[in-house]
Chain A
């Protein structure tokens, strides 16, 4: 099993550009999550999904969108990137009522 994979590992965006962060898991987990980690801080939940076709907002959803068309994939879309979105983004998945397994992260810089 590859676990949770994320692409790209690094990305630099200009202000106003858009991009999609990819996340995939091969563990057949129903639950998937997107977090951001700002320097010196813990992780904050952006969006999560409890299954294909079902998503909900987390603590910091503004400026982001998600979709979940399959169990395996949970892409995060950034529209009109802003410097405040410079962060490390982590995707995670979990079975029901269990620990979350994290991907390696995507380091995004918006300049």
Chain B
């Protein structure tokens, strides 16, 4: 069975501070994918990043960066110099493989991030 744990239910930081959202996963698959999605107050789900299990390189995209460590089964997300627009619920997700070979996503329960102006 697959599992994604986001232990931080809610985080509040003052604007311009850096913040890291934690994600720990469990899987018996040797090939898998990890994802981060953003859900702003408007409710839609916005894809942020996909990482496959064979690529442990960290990734940076503007103010966002991701740290993938297989040794600790973690895929953490850092926002640098946070802005009010970053306020949202952030979900970490893990892909499984169905009978047909496609991924089924297992989501964590999300971290609600509030940026205080």
Residues of A participating in the B interface, judged by any CB pair closer than 8 Å: 31, 33, 40-45, 48, 50, 54, 56, 58, 88, 90, 92, 94, 96-102, 104-105
Bound Cα distance A106, B104 (Å): 21
Q: What's the nearest-Cβ distance from chain B to residue A21, in Å?
A: 15
B30 at the interface (CB under 8 A from A): no
Residues of A within 8 A of B98 (CB): 48, 50, 56
Q: Chain A residue with minimal CB distance to B100?
A: A50
Q: B100 near A99 (CB under 8 angstroms)?
A: no
Q: B102 near A97 (CB under 8 angstroms)?
A: yes
Q: A105 near B109 (CB under 8 angstroms)?
A: no
Residues of B within 8 A of A96 (CB): 102
Residues of A within 8 A of B109 (CB): 40-42
Q: B100 near A102 (CB under 8 angstroms)?
A: no
* Interface size counted on chain B using CB atoms at 8 A: 22
Q: A42 near B91 (CB under 8 angstroms)?
A: yes
Residues of A within 8 A of B110 (CB): 40-42
Residues of B participating in the A interface, judged by any CB pair closer than 8 Å: 4, 33, 35, 37, 43-45, 47, 50, 91, 93, 98-100, 102-105, 107-110
Instruction: Kindly count the residue-residue contacts between A and B in the assembled complex, taking CB atoms under 8 Å apart.
Output: 56
Q: A101 near B43 (CB under 8 angstroms)?
A: no
Q: A56 near B100 (CB under 8 angstroms)?
A: yes
Q: A104 near B35 (CB under 8 angstroms)?
A: no
Q: B107 near A56 (CB under 8 angstroms)?
A: no
Given A41-B110, A43-B91, A92-B45, 12 additional A-B pairs, CB 8 A: A40-B109, A40-B110, A42-B4, A42-B108, A48-B98, A56-B99, A90-B45, A99-B35, A99-B47, A100-B105, A102-B45, A104-B44
Q: List 16 A-B contacts (CB under 8 A).
A: A33-B104, A40-B109, A40-B110, A41-B110, A42-B109, A42-B110, A43-B105, A45-B104, A48-B102, A56-B100, A58-B104, A96-B102, A97-B103, A99-B35, A99-B47, A105-B43
